[in-house]
A and B are shown apart, each in its own frame.
Chain A
Amino acid sequence: MRWRSKRLLFLMPGFSGVLLFYLLPFLEVVRRSFLKSGSGAFVGIDNYRAVWGNGAFVLAVRNTFLYMAVGVPLLMGISLFLSMLLRNLLFRRRLVSVMLLPVAVPAAVMILTLQILIDRQGIINGVLTKVSEQIAAFPAFSAIDYLNTEWALVVVVCSFLWKNTGYMIILWLAGLAALPKEVEEAAQVDGADRWQNWHYIIRPGLSGSFFTIGMLSVLQIFKSYREVWMVAGSYPQEHIYFLQHLLQTGI
Chain B
Amino acid sequence: MGSRVTVPAWAVQAYSRWRKRRTAWLAGGICAAVAALICSPLLMIPGGALMDSMEMQRIFSPILGEGKGFAAWHLIPVYPTMGHFYRLLIESPAFYQLFWNTAGMTAAILLGQLAVGLPSAWAFAAFRFRGRDFLFGLYVVLMLLPFQVMLLPQYIVLHKLHLYNHPAAVILPAVFSTFPVFVMYRGFTQIDAEILEAAWPLSLYLPQITIRQAGFAFAVAVLTLIPALFVFALGQDALEEGIAYIGVKR
Which residues of chain A have a CB within 8 Å of any CB of chain B? 4, 7, 9-11, 13-15, 17-18, 20-26, 28-29, 82, 85-86, 88-91, 93, 95-109, 112-117, 119, 121-123, 125-126, 129, 143, 162, 165-167, 170-171, 173-174, 177-178, 180, 208-209, 212, 215-216, 218-219, 222, 225, 243-244, 247-248
Q: Would A106 and B224 count as touching, CB distance under 8 A?
A: yes
Known: A93-B240, A97-B236, A104-B225. Is A10-B123 also a contact (CB below 8 A)?
A: yes
Residue in B44, B143, B236 whose CB lies within 8 Å of A113: B44
Known: A7-B123, A17-B175, A215-B182. Is A82-B200 also a contact (CB below 8 A)?
A: no
Q: Would A109 and B196 count as touching, CB distance under 8 A?
A: no
Cβ contacts under 8 Å, A171 to chain B: 188, 193
Residue in B35, B229, B242, B243 whose CB lies within 8 Å of A104: B229
For the complex, give the distance between the alpha carbons of A97 and B239 in Å: 11
Contact with A along B99-136 (1 / 0, CB 8 A): 00000000000000001110110111001010000010
Q: Would A116 and B73 count as touching, CB distance under 8 A?
A: yes
Query: Interface of chain B, helix or strand or loop or mixed?
Result: helix
Please give me the 7 A-B residue pairs with the lowest Cβ-Cβ distance, nearest first: A126-B70, A17-B176, A104-B228, A25-B153, A106-B203, A14-B120, A108-B206
Of B1-9, B89-97, B209-217, the one touching chain A = B209-217
Known: A14-B119, A21-B154, A104-B229. Is A85-B27 also a contact (CB below 8 A)?
A: yes
Closest CB in chain B relative to A93 CB, distance in Å: 5
Q: Would B148 and A248 count as touching, CB distance under 8 A?
A: yes
Closest CB in chain B relative to A243 CB, distance in Å: 7
* 7 more A-B residue pairs beyond the given contacts A18-B176, A18-B178, with a C-beta to C-beta distance below 8 A: A24-B157, A99-B39, A106-B203, A109-B218, A113-B42, A174-B188, A215-B144
Known: A11-B123, A104-B225. Is A97-B232 also a contact (CB below 8 A)?
A: yes
Residue in A103, A106, A119 whose CB lies within 8 Å of B63: A119
Q: Would A28 and B156 count as touching, CB distance under 8 A?
A: yes
Cβ contacts under 8 Å, A7 to chain B: 123, 127, 129
Cβ contacts under 8 Å, A103 to chain B: 196-197, 199, 228
16 contacts between A and B (CB under 8 A): A7-B129, A17-B172, A29-B150, A91-B28, A93-B240, A100-B232, A108-B203, A108-B206, A121-B71, A123-B72, A174-B239, A174-B246, A177-B243, A215-B140, A216-B182, A219-B144
Q: Would B148 and A244 count as touching, CB distance under 8 A?
A: yes
Closest CB in chain B relative to A212 CB, distance in Å: 5
Asked if B78 CB lies within 8 Å of chain A CBs, one says no
Within 8 A of A (CB), among B30-56: 30-32, 34-35, 38-39, 41-42, 44-45
Q: Would A29 and B69 count as touching, CB distance under 8 A?
A: no
- Chain B residue at smallest Cβ distance from A117: B41
Asked if B167 CB lies within 8 Å of chain A CBs, one says no
Asked if B12 CB lies within 8 Å of chain A CBs, one says no
Q: Would B207 and A108 count as touching, CB distance under 8 A?
A: yes
Within 8 A of A (CB), among B214-250: 214, 217-218, 220-221, 224-225, 228-229, 231-233, 236, 239-240, 242-244, 246-247, 249-250
Q: Would B38 and A102 count as touching, CB distance under 8 A?
A: yes
Cβ contacts under 8 Å, B209 to chain A: 108, 112
Cβ contacts under 8 Å, A173 to chain B: 243
Asked if B142 CB lies within 8 Å of chain A CBs, one says yes
Q: Would B34 and A99 count as touching, CB distance under 8 A?
A: yes
Residue in B70, B182, B214, B242 whose CB lies within 8 Å of A174: B242
For the complex, give the distance between the alpha carbons of A23 and B146 in Å: 14
Most A C-beta atoms less than 10 A away, residue of B34, B197, B224 = B34
Q: Would A109 and B217 count as touching, CB distance under 8 A?
A: yes
